[in-house]
Amino acid sequence: MPLMVNVHEAKTQFSRLLEQAHAGQEIILAKAGKPYARLVPLATEEITGRKPGRLAGRRLSEAFFEPLPPDELAAWG
């Protein structure tokens, strides 16, 4: 269950709330008692994104570098 915290309290306890969010706790920030925003941890794949070098040692075929046929070029036009 998410923890609801008023904005004023969030300002004074931001570091603690940030650590809780990083640990997996969902925190709802409220303004005048009404939900306003959500503080959640980032997923690991969002942080790391692409992994360079995962195709190391693989070569592209020569066909990859050949010009596209005219009908395909027209479709990109």
pLDDT tens track for 8-21 = 999 999 999 999 99
Identify whether the C-beta of residue 11 lies closer than 8 Å to the C-beta of residue 17. no
pLDDT tens track for 30-75 = 999 999 999 988 765 555 566 677 667 777 788 889 999 999 999 9
- Catalogue all structural domains in the chain, each as residue range(s) with its CATH number: 1-41 (3.40.1620.10)
DSSP category for residue 10: H
Cα 2 from Cα 18, distance rounded (Å): 14
Residue 73 CB coordination number (10 Å):
10
